[in-house]
Structure 1
Amino acid sequence: MGPHVSEMIAESQLIVGWDAEPVDVARHIHAHPTLSEAVGETFLTLAGRGLHQQ
């Protein structure tokens, strides 16, 4: 629940429906600043390519 939750639901539904692997999602652009960017960052990390890792 939240003011922009539809942004994350749409992206998550596409990922689940596509049965996508982290590397599949990580190669797509996720606009900044958006909540879908957080989804993209998560999948980049899962694919071993996180941008903001220390």
Structure 2
Amino acid sequence: MHSGFPTSTGVGRITTAGVITVWPLPEARELTALVYDPRHHGFVVADAKAAVLRWFPTPA
């Protein structure tokens, strides 16, 4: 299972060891929510300020 969290302009991940990694999402303005899509191995991210959904593939 993959988990992540949105920041205002990126997507983050916390490992079980407590390591936090954040990847910027180009052109993101105000990310508010994300949902993991296991079929495509990535996240659909809601950008509230731009009123769009953005795709973010899961980093290796």
TM-score (norm 1): 0.28
Query: RCO (CA 8 Å, sep 6+): is it higher in 1 or 2?
Result: 1
Structure 1 or 2: more strand by fraction = 2
Q: Which has the higher helix share?
A: 1
